[in-house]
Structures are given as structure tokens and as C-alpha cells.
Amino acid sequence: MDIRRSVNTKFWSDAFIEELGPKEKLLFLYLLTNEKTNMLGVYEISIKRIAYETGLTKEEIKKPFEAFESLSKAFYFDNIVFLPNWIKNQSMNTNMMKSAKTEYASFSNDLKNRLKANGFEGFESLSKGCQTLPKKEEEKEEEKEDEKEDEIEKEKFYPIDFKNFLKLENIKNSECLEFLSSEMWFESKSMQLSSETKILSEKAKEFIIDLRDREMIEGKTLIDLRSHFVSWFKRKRDLERPLVSQKYLTPKFSTL
């Protein structure tokens, strides 16, 4: 599941950010938004990866870090990024706080010691000043998170274009949605049927419409649809293949 991070709209008017050059701004924004970030603002990432994803050179990354460290805005050691003010700028519910504590507990003693060396004493110090949501607001927030996760999972397995397609074609067999969304199955069949996965997926729609027009779609299970599709696709492919001209089939003999 994708992780979403929010950035305050006042980011660009922050006094610290205003003093940075374009490349330093890019780097700092990247540190806040890359996919390795977590609820603690302490995560592992290599300079090589930062360079690859930002387009900055290693020197353009290392030098700004020295400035960030001198101002206690960001630290980088042993492939670890540490953002001291990260957790203080997060609005967390109880579950998120528990998760953050669990993550901190998983840190090695060496990492905890490095954090302490920079003036941070355990999780309590990291979370000091962290905004927590009121109880009712927290419950609403948790409900929203659950709803979002459910929607994301549904979209993951049942893409919206397949839903719209079935609705538009007035096809109500729920097995058809699962069949059309079987990307991995189509991928596995691409070699057997000598066709690209994308083409098989598109042909699957034609197959569903064909079944509906012949009134053969009701009661079909996912296994039925898959097995019948393979046979249908082969017949369709053979019919669409151009016939080889007879002159190419007639053997030529020497008249010597």
C-alpha cells in the first residue's frame, strides 16, 4: 500500500527554507517526502539513492548536509537520515504513537547512542511537543484511515475502469470483475498464448461481451471464465490470422 506524507503549505515561507538555494531546497524537501520516511523521521537511505532520485551529485548532497547538521535540521550518519523536528510537526493518533514507539524500540543500541550523542534522550525526547489529536477527532481520523485503506485495497484488486466497463455493459456476474482484474494470471498465460499481457486483458473484455451476447455469462465461475477464455482466444486468433497464399505453399521444382 502506498504511504502518503503531507507537507505544510508554509514550508516555502519558513525562514530556514527561504535562505536555502534551489538544490538545497530540493534536497530538504526530498528528505521529508521520499518513500523511506517514517513516523519518527529516522530512516536508512544511501547517498547513491538520494543522488539517483533527485538528480543531485554526491557533492551537492554531502555539502548541504553539513549546513543542515550545523543548524540541527537534519543529520546524516552511517546511511541514516535523522530529522529532529519531524515528529514534532506530526498530528498523531494513539495507534500512530504506538507504532512510532515500536519502531524506536527496534533501533539498535548503536543508533540510539548516535541519536543521544546529538542531544536526544530516547523516544520521550523525540516525541516531546508532538501534536496529538483529541479523542473524538482521533476516532474520526482512525475511521477515515480504515476507509482509505479499504478503498485502496479495492482499487488495487478491482481497478475502476473494469467496474465501469461491467456497469456500462450491464454485466452483473461478480466473477467477471475478478476475472478481468487477474493481471498476474494474464501475465502467466502470455507465454502460452504468444501474446502480450495488455492485449490479453483487452481481449478479455471482448470475451465477456461475447458471452453476454450469447447469454452464456450467468453462473460462470472464475475457473469457467479462465478456461473458456483460453479456448476462445485461440479460436479468435486463428480466425484473424491471414491465410497463407497458395502460391507460397506450392513447391517449386527445377525443370532442368
| N-terminal to C-terminal alpha carbon distance within the chain | 74
Q: Please give the average per-residue pLDDT across 20-47, as a whole number.
A: 92
Contact predicate 100/87, CB 8 Å:
yes
Residue 57 pLDDT class (50, 70, 90 cuts): very high
Domain parsing of the chain, residue ranges:
9-134, 158-234
pTM of the predicted model over 0.85: no
User: Domain 9-134 belongs to what topology?
Assistant: Arc Repressor Mutant, subunit A (1.10.10)
29 strand-pairing partners: none
Contact predicate 218/173, CB 8 Å:
yes
Classify each residue of 189-222 as buried b or exposed e, where b means 16 or more C-beta atoms within 10 Å of its C-beta. bbeebeeeeeebbebbbebbeebbeeeebeebee
Q: Please give the average per-residue pLDDT across 68-79, as a whole number.
A: 91
* Residue-level pLDDT at 32: 92
Q: What is the pLDDT of residues 107-153, one digit of tens each?
A: 888 888 888 777 665 555 555 545 443 444 445 555 565 555 555 44
* Residue-level pLDDT at 201: 85
Could you give the 3-state DSSP secondary structure of residue 246? helix
Q: What is the pLDDT of residues 162-174, one digit of tens each?
A: 788 888 888 887 8
